[in-house]
Amino acid sequence: MNDALNEAGELVEAGDAAAAVRRLRSMGDEVALDDLAPVVERLARLAGLDDLARASARLAAAPDRPQTLYDFGYACVEHDLPFLAVPALTEAVRRAPEADAVLAELVVALEEEQRHADAVTALERRGDSLPAWPHRYLLVYNALMAGDLARAGRHLDRLPAPEDGDWRPAHERVTRMVARAAVLDGGEALDRRDLRGWHFVLTGGVLSTLSPYGFDAGMTGRYAYQQDDYDLCRLGLDRLRVILAAAGRRPRSVSLLPDRSSRILGLAAAELLGVPVGPIGAERRDTLVVAYDLSAVEDRDLLVALRDRAPGEVLFEHGTCWTSPPAVSADVSTLLAQFLVPPWGERLRRQPDGSVGRAPGDDRPVEELAAEIVRAQGRADAGDGATPPDPDEALARFVATVANRWPTGPRDRVRSSGPVPSSRFG
């Protein structure tokens, strides 16, 4: 039994399930399953996950049976522990290489871990016997998420339209992704530093700014933790105007989402665009829907409605969470962040004694806070100098290039951060 597994077992005995999970995550795929299963069984019983505990016990008793391997992996995926599922499902595929359900579940676990290249490898091992649906679709999707456009295109050419209508949206989604890549010089310009290009390919949306810090130190244009400010909010709205002008879009109104932060930003957008503003309604033609953070929208029915865009409608989101993406992908995002604190929210602040405390949020009326955004200069932070230059002219050229495919199609949620890597908390 390896050190990580021993330490995880000790943490389980101490009653610290969260720390045990973190320690298990560090051990990688090379683990003896008959050693792993008893530790996971005790962890599952501590956490009250009875089905996972039973599956772990069965795996400990019969670690060489494909069914017990599959059942354990399936239970791990169901309880958001895909990293534990991968070694068991890999072994299950090795022992039952023609079992379609086992292979599909391994791919699900690898996708959850954003190990898309590994998913491609697992699927391609089946060769010509790989079923079209969903397996070859999964191959196209994971090739895209791994940044391999040539492979994605080859397998898409071999993917027939699904007979089952439930798979039709998935087929249309990867077809749109490949088509969007083709707009960007046939995809040849896309590399693992082109955050804006890949954001467009995968989501259909335009990312208007890149983080000015840590570009070459793991972030590649994304933010991890960001305390927002009024200048950045104003910059986002100014860049939105650049995008709308470059695409020839002229919203006739601004529609406000119900949460406070969205209402603040929406009022500022309406002022800067010189258009009327009102709450979002059933009639959304030619309107700009403004969200500060779509993850904060609690109305599930509203999010479902926003998935299908109305004619001329543009959905703008200031801060998009890239580690847990919202239910719909915005047409324009100012920035990608893991954690974003609005300028009017409770904030971290250094105290006179050097310690870090929390400053209370700003509870002024939304109209006053919107006016703060309008008055802000909207200057871009100079940052650390590592982020490539990104003037308005470059953004406008990008939008002009993709305008014929922006914004089109449904606003699909994209769970993966795709081929461009960024460091994250946790």
Single out the residue of 138, 133, 153 nearest to residue 106, CA to CA. 138
Tell me which amino acid residue 351 is: Q
Q: Mean of the pLDDT values across residues 120-144?
A: 97
Overall CATH class of domain 192-405: alpha beta
**What are the pLDDT digits (tens) for 263-317?**
999 999 999 999 999 999 988 999 999 999 999 999 999 999 999 999 999 999 9
pLDDT band (50, 70, 90) for residue 3: confident
> What is the residue whose two structure tokens read 């405390």?
357
CATH number of 1-113: 1.25.40
The domain segmentation of the chain, as residue ranges, is 1-113, 125-190, 192-405
Q: How far apart are the first and last CA of the chain?
A: 25
Single out the residue of 327, 131, 322 nearest to residue 225, CA to CA. 322
Q: Mean of the pLDDT values across residues 90-111?
A: 97
pLDDT above 70 as % of the chain: 98
Decide the pairing of beta strands 287-291 and 356-359: unpaired
Peptide bond into 311 cis (omega under 30): no
pTM equals 0.94
Domains 1-113 and 192-405 share a fold: no
What 3-state DSSP class applies to 401? helix
| Helix, strand, coil % in the chain, rounded to nearest 5 | 55, 10, 35
**What are the pLDDT digits (tens) for 353-401?**
666 778 889 999 999 999 999 999 999 999 999 999 999 999 999 999 9
Q: Check residue 399 and give its pLDDT.
A: 97
| Residue 335 to residues 104, 184, 190, 247, Cα–Cα distance (Å) | 34, 21, 19, 19
Peptide bond into 251 cis (omega under 30): no
Q: Kindly state the DSSP code that residue 330 receives in the 8-state scheme.
A: -
pLDDT at 1 over 60: no
Q: Check residue 426 and give its pLDDT.
A: 66
Q: Check residue 354 and give its pLDDT.
A: 67
Read out DSSP for 195-228? HHHHHHHHHS-EE----SS-IIIIITT-EEEEE-
Q: What is the phi/psi pair of residue 315, to 5°?
A: -105, 115
Query: Looking at 287-331, which runs of residues are DSSP E strands?
Result: 287-291, 314-321
Burial of 165 (0-12, 13-18, 19+ CB in 10 A): exposed
> What is the residue whose two structure tokens read 């720390």?
19
**What are the pLDDT digits (tens) for 304-358?**
999 999 999 999 999 999 999 999 999 999 999 999 999 999 987 776 766 677 8
